[in-house]
Amino acid sequence: MKIELNGWQQAMEHLPEGITNAEIEAERKDTITLTATGGSTGSASASSVTTLYARVGGAVSGTACSQDLGEDLSRLLEDAREAGSYAGGGQLPFHRKEEIYAGGETDCPDTSPEELRALALELEARIRAEEPAILSSSVTIRQERQAMRLVSSEMADTSSASRALVAEISVQASFDGFGCGTEFEVTAGSPEEFQLDQIAKLSAERLRLQKEPVSFTPGAYRVFFDQPVMWNILLTAWQMFAGTNCQAGTSCFAGRMGEQIGSPLVSLSDYPSYPGCGYRYAFDFEGTPCAPISLMKDGVMTGMFHHMGSAAAFGEKSNGRAGRAPLLTSGIPNSYTVTPRIFLMEPGKVSRDELLSQLGDGLRIIDSYDPFHCLDISSGHFSIPCRGILYRNGRPVGNVTSIAIHGTFEELLQSIEGVASDLLISPFIMTKAYCVGAPSVLVKKLMVSGK
């Protein structure tokens, strides 16, 4: 799956005037999806998109990006130089050739559409068989083959390629007239890694947990977060560990390195690859190899996400997390920032059910909504809408909806009394730019509002 960059050496040998360093990075993503619904083949899709990014430095520093594959690479470098001529004079950092990721892999597996379709049909059938109350269900199997290639004016030429599979599950059911649904995603590195029965059971369980709500008294509760709730929080909370935010003082964890922030049960990490997760990230767009990072170890803040610029501000070396803001910048992500790769809370040793048995009297939060607007990175405050189940003496006594949990992220981390082993990793919604993983957790006390 090598990306063709015709004429790159020539472009690098004749850099725009005043430019002494240049890189072109190409990213190609080939995706195929097959959907099964109601026992039949449903919709399908396929795409192949290559994006070219240029960075130049010297008298000026600038960037440009294009999906025009007919564009001359020298023109792209010139566009970057021109953009840089307006910029504020800051220099872009560049690696020496020997510092750039030294791999060169271009092969990655490819499963045929027929096999993917068969997998979707098999999983969809098992899900329907698991719960008779299901009204409609669909399973989409998505194969993403991603390749990166980076070339530089020092004639570095490095590549990587990987393949991820994702199962997207969407199920609607009715229990005695009460309508409910669930949607979630599971990743794997190969078709054989999907645990079909386990996914089917998880779908059915998530449906059965939803029931007509009873009335609710707001206040402080002992709380159990099911896995999706912690996942939703981590989806935004990683930004607190961004070196760029800590440098700018806009993270509530700025200046807290080495401090005990969370409970000793909490460890947060970011990996370039992880068992069971199909996604794999060899190097970032500055060419830095992606190393595993410990962000919080036993409750102590131990690291940040860095690109070359933010690392230099802390006197450190980049850990390979240069990224492009995935949303709300432009059609092609291009805003220079740091992003995680596979960010997760390290799982504990107890099963989810064992941990849930320790809830006693409290509230089990089974789902939450809208992670993007509910957590303030600078203060750490969150106010997250969700739904759950009241427990008394360890037994469920009624469902509650339209409730919200409140507090700060730091208070939440401090209050964690147990971490389950049920880690589930899913890609970031929409752009799939990175992955987040979370287990279920038991929380000593949290404010919960609602009716």
**For another protein, the closer CB: 28 or 126:** 28
Closest distance between another protein and the C-beta of residue 111, in Å? 14
**What is the smallest separation between the CB atom of 383 and another protein, expressed in angstroms?**
5
* Choice between 171 and 345, CB closer to another protein: 171
Comparing CB distances to another protein, the nearer of 39 and 104 is 39
Question: Which is nearer to another protein, 15 or 419 (by Cβ)?
Answer: 15
**Measured in whole angstroms, how far is the alpha carbon of residue 55 from the centre of its chain?**
25
- Nearest distance from residue 348's CB to another protein, in Å? 29
Q: Which residue, chain included where needed, has tokens 């504020």? A: 88
Q: How many residues does the chain have?
A: 451
Closest CA to 409 of 244, 293, 239: 239
Indicate the residue among 36 and 350 with the shorter CB distance to another protein: 36
CB 367 within 8 A of CB 360: no
Rg (CA), the chain: 24
Q: Rounded to the nearest 10 degrees, how much is the dihedral formed by the CA atoms of 396, 399, 402, 408? A: 10
Cα 248 off chain centre by: 23
- CA dist 448 to 217, 368, 387, Å? 9, 13, 10
**Taking the CB of residue 424, how many other CB atoms lie within 10 A of it?**
22
**Pairing of the two strands 178-188 and 342-345:** unpaired
- Is the Cβ of residue 102 or residue 327 nearer to another protein in the bound state? 327
CB 449 to another protein: min, Å: 3
Q: How far is the CB of 294 from another protein (least distance, A)?
A: 26
Report in angstroms how near the CB of residue 402 gets to another protein at its nearest. 5
* Cα of 292 vs its chain's centroid, Å: 15
* Minimum distance of another protein from residue 377's CB (angstroms): 6
Nearer to another protein, 97 or 117 (CB): 117
State the Cα–Cα distance between residues 174 and 172, nearest whole angstrom. Answer: 7
